[in-house]
Chain A
Amino acid sequence: MAEISFPLPDLGEGLIEATVLDWLVSPGDQVERNQPLVELETSKSALELPSPQAGKVIRIHGAPGETINVGEPLVVFEVPDNTAGIVGTVPQDDAPKRRVRLSAVLDED
């Protein structure tokens, strides 16, 4: 298993921080990609932040009311070693399937 940290992104244009309003997940929760993680408030708006990936939440940073700077850790995920990259999927090694049969008379000269 590997740990992946999700730092607070810039939620607007040039915002430097956000305040936690309410956590929608807890440590130990398995989340899917795009599942809402947390309600945040910035100087521009309040919003729900979707998860950038699937994984198990193992740490959350910032209690409701606390302010976090952009770039500081927000959520730490635990993911299996065979997690796909940001693009594409992990190919499965299926049992090989065939329709073609070989037939040959091999002259061993």
Chain B
Amino acid sequence: MSESTTAILEAAAATETQSVKLSMQQALNRALDEILSNDPKTVVFGEDCGQLGGVFRITDGLQAKHGGSRVFDTPLAESGILGMSVGLAMAGFHPIPEVQFDGFAYPAINQIVCQIARMNYRSRGTLPMPITLRVPSFGGIRAPEHHGESLEALFAHVPGLKVVSPSDPHDAYHLLKYAASRPDPVIFMEPKSRYWQKGDVGTSDGGTLTGARVVRPGRHLTLVAWGAMVARCLQVAELAAEDGIDVEVLDLRWLKPIDAEALATSVGKTRRAVVVHEAPLTSGLGAEVAQLITQSCFDTLKAPVERVTGFDVPYPSGDLEDEYIPNIDRILLGIQRVLEYRRG
């Protein structure tokens, strides 16, 4: 943990405040620090996670505090990082590996899909895989190829994996601690473009960590999003309000399993829905969300569920990512299509 984070936390403890202002980086760093302190079986590792403290400083200071046998660097080999996680989990450890960037997960797909996801099933419950795989995910930081991809649909399709993505520092802190406490493997997708924005991190998780969360209530239409798109949808909701449209923003948070009840409750009320994601359209998670909404709200829906997504192309280089990631106008146009729809 960096000195500044420690100072902020100590100041908060001294004044007995219920929340502190942290960036998502600092919130994740604090969560890892506490997990390592509270669970001697936890080990944290990945490329540059040890001495450097991670390319995004998420593991900053953790090796110095908890030692090189619990927080350490690995070779540049994702198959090895995840393969080692399998062995550690078999031996009773609780690994929290990092794949440095989303696009680096591909070399470890065999370990994730063929071993981690199904070892518990294969062993009739005798070899659980309590692994939390941290993956800095999605685009928005002008990075080169393999540094801006959205793999949620790929992971969500694999039986045995759970997938979660926080959208703000408070959720990042509590969801990481929750994920690490689970007996099942969790893919923890960190929205890297939101690492630096600060937010209040409360001491209480509110008791609602397992499902979706309404981040802005509204009457006319539900925007469903996760990760970095939640902040953008909140901006869109403010702009829509100027035009008299009251938009609800639902942060899905868990992408496997999806909180179908929260979708039914929200869209049951608003009767209109647009799902927004950075990943390409075809076979994206938006299709799954649209089906779940249709299943529960078919009789009352005012229009088919719209999807506003990335395009069916490889994630572009940084200079073009503003053209790829759903922007405010594309989301507003999606809302307009739903508002204009008339039956028959």
- State the A residues within 8 Å of B (CB): 1-3, 81-91, 93, 96-104, 106
Q: Is the CB of B329 within 8 A of A99?
A: yes
Q: How many A-B residue pairs have CB under 8 A?
A: 83
Q: Is the CB of A2 within 8 A of B243?
A: no
Q: Is the CB of B220 within 8 A of A81?
A: no
Q: Is the CB of A98 within 8 A of B3?
A: no
Q: Is the CB of A87 within 8 A of B243?
A: no
Select one of B4, B23, B141 contacting A91, CB under 8 A. Answer: B141
B253 CB within 8 Å of chain A = no
Q: Is the CB of B339 within 8 A of A88?
A: no
A95 to chain B, nearest CB (A): 9
Select one of A1, A83, A87, A101 contacting B143, CB under 8 A. Answer: A87
Q: Beyond A82-B196, A91-B193, is A104–B4 a contact (Cβ under 8 Å)? A: no
Q: Is the CB of B141 within 8 A of A100?
A: no
Which residues B1-59 have CB closer than 8 A to chain A? Answer: 2-4, 23, 25-26, 48, 55-57
Q: Beyond A93-B197, A102-B240, is A88–B4 a contact (Cβ under 8 Å)? A: no
A99 to chain B, nearest CB (A): 5
Distance in angstroms between the alpha carbons of A22 and B168 in the assembled complex: 46
Q: Is the CB of A2 within 8 A of B147?
A: no
Q: Is the CB of A2 within 8 A of B3?
A: yes
> Chain A residues with Cβ under 8 A from B3's Cβ?
2-3
B76 CB within 8 Å of chain A = no
Q: Beyond A88-B143, A89-B141, is A100–B2 a contact (Cβ under 8 Å)? A: no
User: Which of B141, B220, B238, B245 has the most chain A CB within a 10 Å cutoff?
Assistant: B141
The 10 closest A-B pairs by CB, nearest first: A88-B141, A104-B339, A88-B143, A100-B332, A102-B243, A96-B235, A85-B56, A85-B55, A82-B196, A86-B55
> Chain A residues with Cβ under 8 A from B144's Cβ?
87
B142 CB within 8 Å of chain A = yes
B179 to chain A, nearest CB (A): 22
Q: Beyond A88-B143, A91-B193, A96-B235, is A2–B57 a contact (Cβ under 8 Å)? A: yes
> Chain A residues with Cβ under 8 A from B56's Cβ?
85
B239 CB within 8 Å of chain A = yes
A105 to chain B, nearest CB (A): 9
Give the interface size class of chain B. Answer: 35 or more
Distance in angstroms between the alpha carbons of A23 and B142 in the assembled complex: 34
Distance in angstroms between the alpha carbons of A3 and B26 in the assembled complex: 14
What 20 additional pairs, Cβ within 8 angstroms, besides A87-B141, A89-B141, A104-B340?
Answer: A2-B2, A3-B2, A81-B2, A81-B25, A82-B23, A82-B196, A83-B57, A84-B141, A85-B141, A85-B192, A86-B48, A88-B192, A91-B196, A98-B332, A99-B329, A102-B243, A102-B244, A103-B336, A103-B339, A104-B245
Contact with A along B50-93 (1 / 0, CB 8 A): 00000111001000000000000000000000000000000000
Contact with A along B293-322 (1 / 0, CB 8 A): 000000000000000000000000010000
Q: Beyond A93-B197, A102-B240, is A81–B4 a contact (Cβ under 8 Å)? A: yes
> Chain A residues with Cβ under 8 A from B142's Cβ?
88-89
Distance in angstroms between the alpha carbons of A104 and B285 in the assembled complex: 28
Q: Is the CB of B328 within 8 A of A102?
A: no
Which residues B319-344 have CB closer than 8 A to chain A? Answer: 328-329, 332-333, 335-336, 339-340
B307 to chain A, nearest CB (A): 17
B101 to chain A, nearest CB (A): 7
Q: Is the CB of B332 within 8 A of A2?
A: no
Q: Is the CB of A88 within 8 A of B318?
A: yes
> Chain B residues with Cβ under 8 A from A91's Cβ?
140-141, 193, 196
B328 to chain A, nearest CB (A): 5
A100 to chain B, nearest CB (A): 4
18 contacts between A and B (CB under 8 A): A1-B4, A2-B4, A81-B4, A84-B141, A85-B55, A86-B48, A87-B55, A87-B147, A88-B142, A88-B192, A88-B318, A98-B329, A100-B332, A101-B332, A102-B336, A103-B336, A103-B339, A104-B339
> Chain B residues with Cβ under 8 A from A100's Cβ?
328-329, 332-333, 336
